[in-house]
Structure 1
Amino acid sequence: MNGPTILLVDEPTSALDHERGAAIIELITALTHERATATILVTHDRTHLTAADQIVEIHDGRLHLPAPAC
């Protein structure tokens, strides 16, 4: 419990204003990198997607992976 290898985060900014939401995303990103963990963040708020290393979407219950970069 004190040293997880994966962090699951569900809608961490949903009830926050933009400034506090950005601070939470920065904290999650920093902890993820400092502790060398994987983080799965679920959100409907697309404004914080730039902090993600990879984005995967689910539409109608189906997983959609991004197209490979050329």
Structure 2
Amino acid sequence: MEAKTRCLIFDPFAGISGDMILGALIDLGLGDEWLHELVASLPVKVRVEVSSVLRASLATTAVTVEASE
């Protein structure tokens, strides 16, 4: 059986914020484990909260990132 190659074209022509990118990646099926592992490996204290929200009648994933100074 041949392996399928998947490709995602990402072109935010009007701009996009980092939390929106993270939420979209989680909604695409990456899950949030990788994000928590990444944050745990950082040398600074960072808190990440992932939650399901309803915005403008659309269900999405909200990601909040807080870092201490």
- TM-score, structure 2 as length reference: 0.29
Pick the structure with more strand per residue: 2
Larger Rg: 2
- TM-score, structure 1 as length reference: 0.29
